[in-house]
């Protein structure tokens, strides 16, 4: 040990495990990655530099944590929020003139609408507007918003990137050197640093992300095509379905359609009976793991706009026929009561 304390100097300033993960994720998204303790910490780091009174345009159905954090800041007079239906390209473009931060997510949660990221990020009126895309659902395997002009991409690496439902980690990726430097300074001073073990596990997860995500997308497509045929199902949203209202948009900008589906059954009771009857699929709100999880989104405060009987499966790596058998059995038993 030298008196200077080694190459890094102090544990909160840097770590080779963080760097290895950041380099790999940076290459995938086309920028420089900075890892944080969680997706929420990464989101907070992007919101922190806003001046007092800044207007933030965000999806009306943004991820609950993002909405919660921004609403809290609004309550304290820090920011002003302008929620928009982000699948309405005209509404997003119209909001740009008076916006400082545009927050986007695509596909949206849990309705799985597809936002026209390319034209929005390329719009002349977005000059001076900081644009962030939460790319957790799509992963860099299916879209890389920095290439279309986003200033930053944010991830909950707790989901697909880690991929095994066993860690919490977040990351911001940006191609702008000034932004990278200020995010790094923010991380060091706020202390929302990633764990070393989490970074190691997330790097290990990245090594199989292309294979996992490809298979999960194939299985999701298969299940999404079968679901509308069951009499208990009233509607299905999945961007990969030819009949989906946003299918053409998804084809134009994504190289895969993701592995999250949402479908609606009669009501909350039916949905809860269905979840209770599943034997292989796990009830739970997290997503992106090797096991298929399912969540009735309306049970969460803040999700009042979501249909009561909407279920959102995150498709894992089980055999597609095992998943269909489980779903079909639970659908039938929840329906024929």
Ligand X SMILES: *Cc1c(COP(=O)(O)O)cnc(C)c1O
Question: Catalytic residues, which ones?
Answer: 12, 63, 134, 159
Of 79 and 168, the one with the shorter C-beta distance to ligand X is: 168
Q: Report if residue 136 touches ligand X, rule: CB under 6 A.
A: yes
Binding to ligand X, residues 99-118 (CB under 6 A): 105, 109
Of 108 and 334, the one with the shorter C-beta distance to ligand X is: 108
Cβ atoms of residues 45 and 187 within 8 Å? yes
Of 18 and 331, the one with the shorter C-beta distance to ligand X is: 18
Closest CA to 296 of 330, 324, 322, 254: 330
Closest CA to 118 of 258, 253, 245, 240: 253
Closest CA to 131 of 77, 92, 184: 92
Q: Report if residue 160 touches ligand X, rule: CB under 6 A.
A: no
Q: How far is the CB of 137 from ligand X (least distance, A)?
A: 6
Scanning 6-14, 51-59, 151-159, 268-276 for contacts with ligand X by CB under 6 A, the matching segment is 151-159
Scanning 36-44, 217-225, 241-249, 271-279 for contacts with ligand X by CB under 6 A, the matching segment is 36-44
Q: Decide the pairing of beta strands 170-174 and 152-156.
A: antiparallel
Distance CA 193, CA 34 (A): 10
Evaluated on CA atoms 151, 156, 159, 162, the torsion sign reads positive
Which of the 8 DSSP states describes residue 123? -
Q: Which of 32, 159, 187, 297 binds ligand X (CB under 6 A)?
A: 159
Scanning 11-19, 24-32, 152-160, 259-267 for contacts with ligand X by CB under 6 A, the matching segment is 152-160
Q: Which residue is nearest to ligand X (CB)?
A: 39
Of 140 and 334, the one with the shorter C-beta distance to ligand X is: 140
Scanning 76-84, 155-163, 190-198, 326-334 for contacts with ligand X by CB under 6 A, the matching segment is 155-163
Total residues binding ligand X (CB under 6 A): 15
Of 44 and 121, the one with the shorter C-beta distance to ligand X is: 44
Three-state DSSP class for residue 291:
coil
Q: Report if residue 262 touches ligand X, rule: CB under 6 A.
A: no
Q: Which of 26, 31, 39, 316 binds ligand X (CB under 6 A)?
A: 39
Residue 313 backbone dihedrals phi, psi, to 5 degrees: -75, 140
Which of the 8 DSSP states describes residue 260? B
Of 31 and 39, the one with the shorter C-beta distance to ligand X is: 39
Of 232 and 260, the one with the shorter C-beta distance to ligand X is: 260
Question: What residues are paired with 101 via a beta bridge?
Answer: 56, 130
> Quick one: three-class SS letters along 209-256?
HHHHHHHHHHHHHHHHHHHHHCCCCCEEECCCCCCCCCHHHHHHHCCC
Q: Report if residue 65 touches ligand X, rule: CB under 6 A.
A: yes
Q: Report if residue 186 touches ligand X, rule: CB under 6 A.
A: no
Residue 246 backbone dihedrals phi, psi, to 5 degrees: -110, 15
Q: How far is the CB of 334 from ligand X (least distance, A)?
A: 26
Find the helix or strand (DSSP H, E) in which 199 lies.
Answer: helix 196-226
Cβ atoms of residues 117 and 87 within 8 Å? no
Cβ atoms of residues 299 and 258 within 8 Å? no
Q: Report if residue 168 touches ligand X, rule: CB under 6 A.
A: yes
Q: Which of 18, 21, 63, 263 binds ligand X (CB under 6 A)?
A: 63
Q: Report if residue 156 touches ligand X, rule: CB under 6 A.
A: yes
Binding site for ligand X (CB under 6 A): 38-40, 63, 65, 105, 109, 134, 136-137, 156, 158-159, 168, 170
């Amino acid at each position: 040990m030298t008196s200077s304390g080694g190459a890094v100097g102090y544990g909160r300033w840097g770590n080779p495990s963080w760097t290895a993960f950041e380099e790999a994720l940076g290459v995938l998204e086309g920028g420089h990655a900075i890892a944080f303790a969680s997706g929420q910490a990464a989101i907070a780091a992007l919101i922190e530099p806003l001046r007092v009174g800044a207007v933030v345009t965000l999806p009306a159905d943004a991820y609950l944590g993002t909405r919660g954090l921004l609403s809290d800041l609004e309550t304290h007079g820090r920011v002003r929020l302008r929620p928009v239906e982000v699948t309405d390209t005209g509404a997003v473009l119209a909001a740009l003139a008076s916006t400082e931060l545009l927050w986007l997510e695509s596909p949206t949660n849990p309705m799985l609408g597809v936002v026209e990221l390319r034209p929005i990020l390329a719009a002349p009126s977005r000059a001076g507007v900081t644009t962030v895309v939460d790319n957790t659902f799509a992963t860099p395997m299916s879209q890389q918003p920095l290439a279309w002009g986003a200033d930053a991409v944010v991830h909950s690496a707790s989901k697909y990137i880690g991929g095994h439902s066993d860690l919490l980690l977040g990351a911001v990726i940006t191609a702008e050197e000034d932004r990278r430097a200020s995010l790094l300074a923010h991380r060091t001073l706020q202390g929302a640093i990633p764990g070393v073990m989490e970074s190691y596990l997330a790097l290990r997860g990245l090594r199989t992300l292309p294979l996992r995500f490809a298979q999960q997308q194939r299985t999701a497509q298969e299940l999404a095509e079968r679901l509308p045929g069951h009499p208990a199902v009233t509607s299905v949203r999945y961007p990969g379905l030819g009949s989906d209202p946003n299918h053409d948009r998804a084809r134009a900008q994504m190289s895969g359609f993701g592995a999250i589906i949402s479908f609606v059954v009669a009501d909350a009771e039916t949905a809860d009976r269905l979840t209770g009857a599943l034997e292989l699929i796990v009830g739970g709100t997290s997503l992106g793991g090797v096991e298929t999880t399912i969540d009735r989104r309306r049970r969460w405060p803040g999700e009042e706009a979501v249909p009561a009987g909407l279920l959102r499966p995150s498709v894992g790596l089980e055999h597609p026929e095992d998943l269909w058998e489980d779903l079909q059995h639970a659908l039938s038993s929840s329906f024929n009561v």
